[in-house]
Chain A
Amino acid sequence: MAALNEEQTILRDVAKSWVDERSPVSAFRKVRNAELESGFDPGTWKEMAEMGWSAVIVPEDFGGAGLDYLTMGLIFEQLGRTLNASPLLMTGVGAVSAILQGGSPSQQNKWLPRISEGSCVAALAFEEGARHDLGNVSATAVKSGTGFVLNGQKTFVVDGMAANLLLVSAKVDDKIEVFLVPSDLPGIQREKLNLADGRGAALVSFKDVALDEDSTLSGGIELLEHIADRVRAVLSAEMLGSSIQAFETTVEYLKTRVQFGHVIGSFQALQHRAAAMLGKIELSRSVVEAALTAIDQGRENVPMLVSAAKAKVGDTYHLISNEMVQMHGGIGMTDEHDAGLYLKRARVTEAMFGNQSFHRDRYGRLDGY
C-alpha cells in the first residue's frame, strides 16, 4: 500500500466494510442470476452514489469531493475483491475524466452535478471491432446546421443498456471527435450483448441521430487516449483487488482441503506456485499505485505507466484466476463455486481497454522500439 493520507485511509476502510456488508460475491451472483438488462442492481448503485463515490474525482465546484485518482483506485480495489457490478467505472471515472478534460463550462455544469448526485449513468461507446482499438472508427458525424448527424454502430459498450449518457467517438471528415449523446435521442437502438462474466454490455446503433451544437467535446483522439488511460488505471486497481481476493480464497482452500492424509497446502508443488502468485500481486500493486499517482501528479509518462500497470495486473489476474480453478479442482469447475466468477470477470476486464499484448506493444512503442 502506498503511503496513504488520512482521507485516503478512511475512504478505503469505508469501502472495505461496505463491500463486505453490502456487496459480497453473493450479491453479484444474485445480479448475474437475475439476468438484469442493466447488468447491475440499481439499489446497490444508488447506495454507492449516496456514499459519494460517483463524485470522488469531480471538483467541489460541481458538487464533487475533488479527490484524486489514487483514492478512486483504493475504492475500486475493494469493489474488485467481491466482483461488485456497477456503472461506477464508466460514469465516475470515464465520463468524469472526459468532461473535465474536454468539456466546455456549460457541458461541465450540465453533466458533472448529475453524475455527482448519481442521477446519470454514462457509458463509453468507443469500440467498433473485436479488439480494442480507439483509432478504429467508422461512425460519422456530419455537420448539419449548427449541430451534427450521427451514424454508425458501437460494440462492447459496457453499461450501455442502462446509460442515460453515451460518449461516442465518430469521424468528422477525417478527424476523430468525441460526442456527448443522451441515450433517449431518436435513432438510437440498443441491444444487449450477453457476456460470459454475467454483466453484459450493449451493441448500440445510431441512425441519423441529430446532435445539437453543444455535444462535441474538444480534444479529438488525444482526448480518447486521455479518457482511456484513466479508465485503464482505475480498472487495473479493480483487477488488483479481484486478484487479491481470488488468491486469498485459494490459499484458504489449500489450508483446509485434505488429500493423502494431509492438507494440500503442505505440498511443496502447490506452495511454490502460491508464493509465485504473491510475488506477482506485490509487483502489480506497486505499478497500479504508481500509474494512479502519475495521473494525479500530471506526469508526462502516464501512458507508459498505465500500459505497464494494465499489462502486469492483467497477467497477474489471468494467472491467479486460472490457478484458482486448478487448485480447487473439481469444485472449482462448478457454477456454485466463486472460482468461475473470478475467471470470467478476469478475461472480460483483461480485454477491456486493451489486453496484455495491446499494452505491451504500446509500452514498447512509447519506449522507442
Chain B
Amino acid sequence: MTQVQDTSDFRSTVRAWLEANFPASLRNKGEPSPGALTGNLTEDEKLWKERMVGQGWGTPTWPKKYGGGGLSALEARILTEEMAQIKSYNPVAGMGVSMFGPTLLEYGTEEQKERYIPDIVQGNVRWCQGFSEPGAGSDLASLQTRAEDKGDHFLVNGQKIWTSGGHLADMIFCLVRTDTSRKHEGISFVVFSMHQEGVEVRPIKLIAGHSPFCETFFTDVKVPKENLIGPLNGGWSVAKRLLQHERSGMGGRISGSGDKKKERPLGVVAKAYVGEDEAGRLADYDLRARIIDNAIEMYCVEATVRRIAAEAKSNSGPSTATSVMKNANMDAMQERAELIVEMMGYRGLGWEGEHFTPEELAAVRTWLGGKAGTIYGGSSEIQNNIVAKRILGLPDLTSHSEKLEGKAA
C-alpha cells in the first residue's frame, strides 16, 4: 500500500492542478455546453478534455495501464469534491464511464479490456444501453431480442426501447436472448457497433417534448463472437452488476461543499410569484409548509450522500444502500419540480413562446421530464422490492423470486 497517507496533501495537489488547468471560461458552469453532447466542443472544452484524459482523471479509479487515474476511492472522492467546489465537470462522462466500463473491468477478458477501455478513458467512443424492450420493462428478464449462433458470429434481431442517446452513439452494450428455453439463464451480454447495416434508430417524443430517448431496431445485425461479455447465457449477472452502477448515480450528488454562491432557496424565489406577509414569510402558508418540507428532504438526501461517501472506506463498489437513495432522491426532485410549477401559477404552465421566461418554460419541461425518474433504472416499486428482500430479509410469497423482482434480482 503506497497510497498517499496524508489526504490533505493530495487535496492541495488536486486543487493546484485544477487551478492551473481548468480553463477560466468554463468556470462556474458545472457542465459543458450543449454542443458537447454531439461532439462539437469549444476550444477550451477540448483543452479541458485533453488535460483530464492526460491525467486519467475522467476515470479516476480505473487502472493506469488502460489510461485510468489509478486513484483510491478516497482520492477520487477528493477529486470530485474539489471539482464540485469550482463547478467543474468531468469531460469524459457518459454511459461508458459510469456503467459499461466498471462492469467490463470486472467481467471482461484482458483482450476485451484492452480493446474497449482506452477509448472510454479518452472519451473517443459514445456508448448506449440496449436493455429495455417494449415487452420488458420492470420485468427486464422477459426480453425477446434474439441472438442466433451462426458459427463465428451471432445474428441479432429484435427491438430495444429507451435507448438513451442511441441516435448519437457509436457502440451499444446489449442484452440478447441466446436460449429461448430458459428465462434469466438464456440471456447474454454483447457489445457491437451502432454504425452498421441492420441498425435503425428512431428518436422518441415524450410528454416533455423532444428527448434523448430512442427506439432501436436490429435486423440481421452481425455480432462477432468475441464481443460476448461474460459467459454465454450468463449475461444476467453482468447486467445486474451494471444496473447497480447505474443506480449508484441516481441517489443524488454532492454539490460544492461550503459553496458561497449557493442558489437561492425555493421559498425565496417563490415570493416573486406569491408575495410575502408582514413578517416576511411566503404569503401562501400551505405552499410554504410544503416548500420547507421539500427543502429539508433535499437537504436530507444531500447529507446522506455525504454520509455514505464518508463511510465508504474502500473501493468496494456501490452498496445496497443506493436502493434506498434512488427513491429518496427522485421523490424529492419530483416534488421540487411540482412545487416550482405550482408556485408560478399560470406562468408555470406555459409550453412555449415569448410570453414566458426561460425559467418558466424550463420548469414545465423539468416537471414533466422528471416523471421518468421513478420509472427508469428500476422503478420505485422495484427498488422497494429490492430493499424488502435484500436488505430487510423479508420473504418472497412466490417461489419465483426472480420473476417478481425483475431488474431488481
Residues of A participating in the B interface, judged by any CB pair closer than 8 Å: 1-3, 251, 254-255, 262-263, 265-268, 270-272, 274-276, 278-279, 282-287, 289-290, 308, 311-312, 357, 360-361, 363-365, 367-369
Contacts and interface: CB of A to CB of B under 8 A. Distances in A.
B202 interface: no
B291 A369 contact: yes
Given A271-B394, A272-B388, A364-B291, A369 B307 contact: no
Given A274-B388, A283-B328, A368 B299 contact: no
A268 B394 CA distance: 10
B307 A289 contact: yes
Interface string B290-304: 011101110111011
Chain B interface main SS type:
helix
A287 B300 contact: yes
A283 B304 contact: yes
A311 B270 CA distance: 22
A368 B263 CA distance: 13
B300 A286 contact: yes
Given A369-B270, A369-B276, 5 more contacts: A266-B397, A268-B397, A276-B327, A286-B303, A369-B271
B19 interface: no
Contacts of A363: 292, 295-296
Which of A283, A312, A368 has its CB near the most chain B CB atoms (within 10 A)? Answer: A283
6 contacts: A2-B311, A262-B397, A266-B395, A267-B397, A283-B301, A369-B270
Contact of B292 (A263, A271, A361): A361
B300 A278 contact: no
Contacts of A287: 296, 299-300, 303
Contacts of A2: 307, 310-311
Given A283-B301, A360-B292, A255 B395 contact: yes
B289 interface: yes
B385 interface: yes
Contacts of B280: 369
Nearest to A360: B292
Which of B321, B384, B385 has its CB near the most chain A CB atoms (within 10 A)? Answer: B384
Nearest to B266: A369
A263 B282 CA distance: 49
Interface residues of B, number: 46
Chain A interface main SS type:
helix
Nearest to A270: B394
Contacts of B381: 272
Contacts of A279: 324, 327-328, 387
Contacts of B383: 275
Nearest 10 A-B pairs (CB), nearest first?
A369-B267, A271-B388, A275-B387, A286-B303, A283-B300, A275-B384, A286-B304, A266-B397, A364-B292, A272-B384
B394 A254 contact: yes
Contacts of B385: 268, 271-272, 275
Which of A2, A289, A308, A357 has its CB near the most chain B CB atoms (within 10 A)? Answer: A308
B49 interface: no
A271 B268 CA distance: 38
Interface string B340-382: 0000000000000000000000000000000000000000010
B307 A286 contact: yes
B110 to A, nearest CB: 36
Given A369-B268, A369-B270, A282 B394 contact: no
B265 A369 contact: yes
Contacts of A265: 394-395
Nearest to B302: A286
B267 A364 contact: yes
B394 A308 contact: no
A369 B288 contact: yes
Contacts of A254: 394
Contacts of A286: 300, 303-304, 306-307
A3 B328 CA distance: 22
A170 B211 CA distance: 63
A172 B60 CA distance: 62
A271 B271 CA distance: 41
A131 B301 CA distance: 30
B282 A369 contact: yes
Contacts of A368: 265, 267-268
A2 B321 CA distance: 14
A308 B300 contact: yes
Contacts of B395: 255, 262-263, 265-266
Contacts of A312: 296-297, 300
Given A278-B387, A282-B324, A364-B288, A311 B267 contact: no
Nearest to B276: A369
A289 B324 CA distance: 18
A152 B383 CA distance: 55
Contacts of B37: none
Contacts of B270: 369
A285 B306 CA distance: 12
Contacts of B303: 283, 286-287, 290
B109 to A, nearest CB: 37
B392 interface: yes
B271 to A, nearest CB: 6
Contact of A1 (B267, B311, B325, B392): B311
B34 interface: no
A182 to B, nearest CB: 39
B203 to A, nearest CB: 34
Contacts of A255: 393-395
B281 interface: yes
